Amino acid sequence: MAEVQEVASEAMTVLGKGRQIAPFSSRHPAFDLDEAYRVTAAVRKMREAAGERVLGRKIGFTNRTIWAQYGVYAPIWGYVYDSTVHDLAKIAGEFSLATLAEPRIEPEIVFGVAAAPDAGMDERELLGCIAWVAHGFEIVQSVFPDWRFPAPDTVAAFGLHGALLIGERHPVSDSNREEWLRTLSNFDIALHCNGEVVDRGHAANVLDGPLSALRHLVELLAHDTVNPAVAAGEIVTTGTLTQAMPVKSGERWTTALSGVTLDGIDIRFG
d(C-alpha 260, C-alpha 240), whole Å: 16
The residue-averaged pLDDT of 97-101 equals 97
Q: What is the residue extent of each domain of the chain? A: 2-269
Percent of the chain at pLDDT > 90 equals 92
d(C-alpha 201, C-alpha 50), whole Å: 38
- Identify whether the C-beta of residue 25 lies closer than 8 Å to the C-beta of residue 51: no
Strands 85-87 and 161-171: parallel
The residue-averaged pLDDT of 23-51 equals 94
Q: DSSP character for 42?
A: H
For residue 1, what pLDDT is reported? 53
Q: Which residues of 30-50 are buried (b: 16+ CB within 10 A; e: fewer)?
A: ebeeebbbbbbbbbbebbeee
- How far, in whole angstroms, is CA 159 from its chain's centroid? 8
Q: Which residue in 164, 207, 203, 205 sits closest to 180, CA to CA?
A: 203
pLDDT higher than 60, residue 228: yes
d(C-alpha 56, C-alpha 263), whole Å: 23
Share the mean pLDDT of the chain. Answer: 95
For residue 52, what pLDDT is reported? 98
Quick one: pLDDT band at residue 92, thresholds 50, 70, 90?
very high
Helix (DSSP H) and strand (DSSP E) numbers for the chain = 7, 13
Q: What pLDDT digit, counting tens, does each position of 133-146 carry?
A: 999 999 999 999 99
SS3 47: helix
The residue-averaged pLDDT of 228-245 equals 97
Dmax (CA) for the chain in angstroms is 54
Quick one: pLDDT band at residue 180, thresholds 50, 70, 90?
very high
Least confident of 5-19, 35-49, 62-76, 151-165: 62-76
- How far, in whole angstroms, is CA 242 from its chain's centroid? 13
pLDDT higher than 70, residue 164: yes
Q: Which residue in 239, 233, 214 sits closest to 127, CA to CA?
A: 214
- Identify whether the C-beta of residue 170 lies closer than 8 Å to the C-beta of residue 135: no
Which CATH superfamily is 2-269 part of? Fumarylacetoacetase-like, C-terminal domain (3.90.850.10)
Measured in degrees and rounded to the nearest 5, phi and psi for residue 45 equal: -60, -40
Q: Counting beta carbons within 10 angstroms of the beta carbon of residue 133, is it exposed (0 to 12), middle (13 to 18) or buried (19 or more)?
A: buried
Residue type, 218: V
